[in-house]
Amino acid sequence: MPSVVGLLEQHELAARRRVDGLREEADRIQAELAAAELEWQEWAIARRRVDTVLAPDDGAAAEAEVTADPRDAEVQSTLRDAAKPKSQVPVWHQGLAWSVLSVDYQRILTALADRARLHQGPLTCQEMAAVFGMDVVPARVEALRSKAKRLVARGWLAEQQPGRFTLAAGVTGPGDGS
């Protein structure tokens, strides 16, 4: 006859696996939503531009578009990519700046970059909470875990061992342009 503690552990493990599965699914859906919203915004911009070009006016708007300084596009791109509160976590790619992430995510990356620089190895979410001066209580730790898992799913972090996070290969410090 199995022990009560053993049965409880089995149920706890099953519940934990279900939570992890649902979190992964939610992260996947969030990534799809972000991509769909970006596509929608691009189509809306395209429609507005066509409306501007086809609008009966003196041509001043079209001329302003053509004679704009090309460096303005770079500034606009930077502003568009700047982190906003409650912003989505983009999929990491070479050259993507940390500034696209919200401050909470940047804080996690900074802590892990410091650890890597000092050759101290991965961090757990409980250790992160302590490093950040948070109360090491389940609610805070789970919030950090959710953020860390999202960063793993988007390629910013790696999790070679369950619950132990490091920067993903190729992700470097914020001053290095990635």
The answer on 178 and 95 residing in a single domain is: yes
pLDDT in tens, the chain (178 residues): 679 999 999 999 999 999 999 998 888 888 888 888 888 888 888 888 888 888 775 544 444 444 444 444 544 444 444 444 455 788 888 888 888 888 889 999 999 999 888 988 899 999 999 999 988 899 999 999 999 999 999 999 999 889 999 998 888 766 544 4
Residue whose entry in the numeric block shows the structure tokens 């990491």: 92
The answer on 151 and 113 residing in a single domain is: yes
Tokens of 130: 């302590």
Asked, for residue 77, whether it belongs to a domain, the answer is no
Reduced to 3 states (helix: H, G, I; strand: E, B; else coil), residue 170 is coil
The answer on 108 and 25 residing in a single domain is: no
Containing structural domain, residue 13: 1-68
Cβ(123)–Cβ(112) under 8 Å? yes
Furthest CA-CA distance within the chain: 88
Which residues are registered as beta bridge partners of 165?
123
CATH number at residue 132: 1.10.10.10
Tokens of 8: 């409880």
The answer on 161 and 102 residing in a single domain is: yes
The answer on 48 and 128 residing in a single domain is: no
Tell me how long the chain is.
178
Q: What are the percentages of helix, strand and coil residues in the chain, rounded to 5?
A: 65, 5, 30
The answer on 174 and 111 residing in a single domain is: yes
Compute φ and ψ for 166, nearest 5 degrees. -140, 170
The answer on 21 and 88 residing in a single domain is: no
Asked, for residue 106, whether it belongs to a domain, the answer is yes
The answer on 166 and 102 residing in a single domain is: yes
Asked, for residue 89, whether it belongs to a domain, the answer is yes
Which amino acid is located at 62 in the chain?
Answer: A
The answer on 88 and 54 residing in a single domain is: no
Number of domains in the chain: 2
Using CA atoms, how far apart are residues 105 and 103, in angstroms rounded to an integer?
5
The answer on 39 and 96 residing in a single domain is: no
